[in-house]
Amino acid sequence: MSKDYYKILGVDKSASAEELKRAFHKLAHQHHPDKAGGNEAKFKEANEAYQVLSNKEKRAQYDQFGQTFSGAGSNGGGSRSGFGGFNPGQNGAQFDFGDLGDMFGSFGDMFGFGSGGGRQSGGADIEAVLELNFLEAAFGVEKELRLRKAVNCNRCSGTGAEPGAKIDTCSTCRGSGRVTKIQRTILGNVQMAAVCDDCLGRGRKASKNCSECGGEGIKNDVTSLSIKIPAGVGDGESIKFVGQGQAGPHGTPAGDLYLRVRVRADKRWSRSGNDIKTKLEITYSEAVLGTKKGVETIDGEVILKIPEATVSGQVIAIRGRGIPRLRSNGRGDHLVEVVIKVPGKLSRDQRKILEELAKEGL
């Protein structure tokens, strides 16, 4: 059954864009799920109605066809609702708050869940690319990295205070790291919590800042880091090293290091999951009569038995000689594709022998 979006917002069908906006702001403030007494279902319903009616094209389609519109005029992206990427009434509907971001940011500060009301965040994450050869990726390796990043100041050990300086509770926020401010919003004056400007959310303040880092507790420097790459890592995979990113200011936690692995191609082997693939050329007589051939694996040479009557393209598996399974036991296989080599030029004797064999149906 079609929803009446105008009724949900409590406006007439002739309501202007400004009237729609005021009506939605009122309902959003009343039903926001992070507010005491809020109603998430009604909040989403109001948002759904506003997203349609605040858009001229969507509103025109809704006025003509109702919520279930699915006829001509829908976009080429496959939306069955006729309202582009927004699917009213569907579970997991996408909400596009648009210019209401500031209003919800104010709600967050007012009710204690916004990003502006917390203490100072820690250090930033670092992303880097690490290149490995085929064997390093297969068996794992220990690497020494040199990174230029923010590190804790040696002089103050990351506290930001000059050695010997007194560190007291901040008199402005009384140790809470937060202060109360009044901010004007579309809903009127709102009382909100914010980070204390004097202590930057730490709750404590030094009588004198560190002379080397200026009170930040960090400085940029080149540092060496020894890291272990696990066996079986694949090309394009990312490895996280907790706490190895940028040091956090004023003693806050460090960020993380994310290494994206690039594995150089190797002419000897190719990889498919945990299996290794190679090709092995043999002669026609070897294929018919069978033979033994040396195959280079990542563990060294292995003698592979080629059975009689082997056909070109046949794959023979060398069990357990593939890539170790990442963070698990066992290994994949080494898969050998047999290719029968056809000689480009035959001697007179060779041709005569083959002609005799051909007469015998071989």
* Beta strand 218-229 pairing with 141-152: antiparallel
What kind of architecture, by CATH, is found in domain 126-263? Ribbon (2.10)
Chain-wide mean pLDDT for the chain? 81
Among 49-58, 69-78, 106-115, 328-337, whose mean pLDDT is lowest? 69-78
- pLDDT, one tens digit per residue, over 145-163 is 999 999 999 998 888 889 9
Chain-centroid distance of CA 239 in Å reads 11
Segment of 46-60, 158-172, 221-235, 345-359 carrying the highest mean pLDDT: 221-235
CATH superfamily of 5-96: DnaJ domain (1.10.287.110)
Instruction: Compare 266 and 31 and report the one with higher pLDDT.
Output: 266
Q: What is the pLDDT confidence band of residue 233, given thresholds at 50, 70 and 90?
A: very high
Report the binding-site residues: 153, 156, 170, 173, 196, 199, 210, 213
- Partners of 272 in the β-ladder: 275
Domain ranges of the chain: 5-96, 126-263, 270-359
Note the pLDDT tens digit of each residue in 83-115: 333 344 333 333 333 344 344 444 444 444 444
**Exposed/middle/buried for 202, CB within 10 Å: 0-12, 13-18, 19+?**
buried
What's the CA gap between 157 and 6, in Å, rounded?
61
Mean pLDDT for the stretch of residues 170-193: 77
Full-model pTM: 0.57
Q: Is 235 helix (H, G, I), strand (E, B) or coil?
A: coil
Q: Check whether 8 has a pLDDT greater than 60.
A: yes
Span of 26-40, 98-112, 198-212, 243-257 with lowest mean pLDDT: 98-112
Amino acid at 302: V
Residue range 13-25: mean pLDDT, rounded: 88
Calpha distance 122→253 (Å, rounded): 5
User: For position 104, what pLDDT does the model report?
Assistant: 44
If one looks up domain 270-359 in CATH, what number appears?
Answer: 2.60.260.20
Determine how many CB atoms are found less than 10 A away from the CB of residue 44: 14
Checking phi first, is residue 73 left (phi over 0); if not, alpha (psi -120 to 50) or beta?
left
Residues annotated within a binding site for Zn(2+): 153, 156, 170, 173, 196, 199, 210, 213
Q: Please state, in angstroms and rounded to a whole number, the distance separating the CA atoms of residues 325 and 89.
A: 45
